[in-house]
Amino acid sequence: MYFLTNYPYITVSVIAFTINIPLGYFRAKTRKYSAAWFLWIHASIPFIVWFRITNDLDNWIIIVNVLLAISGQLAGSFIHQKRLQKR
C-alpha cells in the first residue's frame, strides 16, 4: 500500500501495462473488429481512468498510459501467438 500511495504515477503506469497483457491475449483469440475484439481493447479504460481521477493525477499521464496500454495489448497478443506456434 505504501508504493500505491507514494508513487501513484508509477503505479498507474504499471497497472496500465500489466492489466492489458491478459486482455491482449484474449483479444488475439477473437475475430478482428468484432464486438468482443472492441471489448478486450477497451476493457481496461474505466479502471485506469478511475485510478487516475481518484489520485488526482495530471493530464500528461494519459498519453503515457495509452502507450503502455497499447504495449500491454501487443505483449499479450505476442504471447498468444508464441503459444500457438508451440502447438
pTM, to two decimals: 0.89
In this prediction, residue 1 carries a pLDDT of: 67
All structural domains of the chain with their residue ranges: 8-86
pLDDT in tens, 18-54: 999 999 999 999 999 999 999 999 999 999 999 999 9
| Ramachandran angles phi, psi of 55, nearest 5° | -95, 5
Q: Is 86 exposed, middle or buried (0-12, 13-18, 19+ CB in 10 A)?
A: exposed
Number of C-beta neighbours around residue 8 at 10 A = 17
DSSP calls for 29-58: TSPTTSHHHHHHHHTTHHHHHHHHHHTT--
Mean pLDDT of the residues in the chain: 93
pLDDT confidence band for 87 (50 / 70 / 90)? confident
